[in-house]
Structures are given as structure tokens and as C-alpha cells.
Chain A
């Protein structure tokens, strides 16, 4: 079945630095990928829709200058958390599906970001 690989699985960074998270569709092409974040004991919150070759669409309340999304190829989307602060510590998850094929989205295994 479809596989979405997310890297790294966890990362610790210092406050003020930037962190890049990669999301790859391994065996299919994804023109659209989605980025979520999840705080402890809460549900997933959609942050943005990543569109291959064009700008991402951000959900209301998500700072696009802080969470930079790049979808430069049909199999790779990246999320960069810029100038990270402790409140950005969270579980970040991506998802994708080959458009027009089947139903249901495949999710990555998530990246746990801790900002110290």
C-alpha cells in the first residue's frame, strides 16, 4: 500500500533556531500533501495544504512566515519551523494521497519537535 515517510521522527532544537521536517510519498506521486500538528491529549489540527509547484494554503491562525512549506516535487514536501520557541514543541504529521486514486489518506509517522 501507499507509504508516506516522515523525517526526522524526533528532533530537539534550541530556541531561536529553525527546523526542517520532510514528508515523502514513497510509491506514489502526491500533488497535494497536508501538514498537521498535535499537542498532547488533543486532536490533530490542520495547519496547511501543500500544493506541488505553488504556494501552500494555510489554515486560519497559522503563521505562514513561521511555518514555511515547500512542495518542490511530486514526492516531497517540507515544513520548516522558523525561529522555533518552546510553544512550538508539538507532534507534526503529514499526509498525502495519489489524487484520483482510491480513498483515504496515508499519514506519516510524525515528527516530535521539542524546543528547549
Chain B
């Protein structure tokens, strides 16, 4: 059963911030929110994770609501190379990853 809900697809103009939402209303206290992306015909790539606090790394920022029932992945300056399927996953740290359908992000030139 999917633990997360994401929009099927989104468009974003090149150079703008891409904001990808994810709902995870049944998340448990010790479960993390992970984001991965898969560029066409490649293996998925880990982007970022968080537990309660907002997080930022060289790739993206992760904003988690205070009740932890939803989160947003932010790609601050989207480029054409960010076109991919983005997966929001909720799991315990060492658990296997079960992928949902993800969000297909199109970056428009």
C-alpha cells in the first residue's frame, strides 16, 4: 500500500524553482521522508531525506510540515537535466524502499 500521495506530473520553467508536494498523512514517529529521482533509463538517485526539520543540501531543499503529514521538495533553480520522475518515500532508516508512482517533472525551456 502506498504511504505517500504525489501528483502524477508537473511542469516547471527552466530557471524557476520546482516545488514538488507529497502527502504522507500516516507517517509514523520514527519514519523518515526520502526523495529519489529517476532520470529516463537510469537507476534512481537519492536526493535528500528528513525526519522533522527542514533540510538542505547541494541538490535540493526539503520542507516538512510541523505535523509531518506532508512535505515539499524544492529544486531552487531547475534545469533541463532535472527532468525526471521524483519519488517521495516514507520509511524507517534501514527498511527496504517501496516505490510509488512518483511525480513526472517536466522542465520547460
Contact = CB atoms under 8 A, between A and B. Distances in A.
Interface stretch (B9-17, B68-76, B97-105): B97-105
Interface centre among A6, A36, A44, A99 (most CB of B within 10 A): A44
Given A103-B34, A103-B49, A104-B49, A110 B97 contact: no
A108 B45 CA distance: 9
A104 B96 contact: no
> A interface, by DSSP: helix, strand, loop or mixed?
strand
Contacts of A4: 43
A43 B43 contact: no
Interface in B89-109: 93-94, 96-102
Contacts of A113: none
Nearest to A4: B43
B101 to A, nearest CB: 5
Interface string A95-116: 1000110011111111010000
Contacts of A100: 94
B91 to A, nearest CB: 10
A80 B41 CA distance: 21
Nearest to A91: B41
Given A95-B43, A104-B49, A110-B41, A43 B102 contact: yes
Nearest to B45: A107
27 contacts: A4-B43, A6-B43, A43-B85, A43-B87, A43-B101, A44-B38, A44-B99, A45-B99, A46-B97, A49-B96, A91-B41, A93-B43, A93-B44, A95-B44, A99-B94, A100-B94, A103-B32, A103-B34, A103-B49, A103-B93, A104-B34, A106-B46, A107-B45, A107-B46, A108-B43, A110-B42, A110-B43
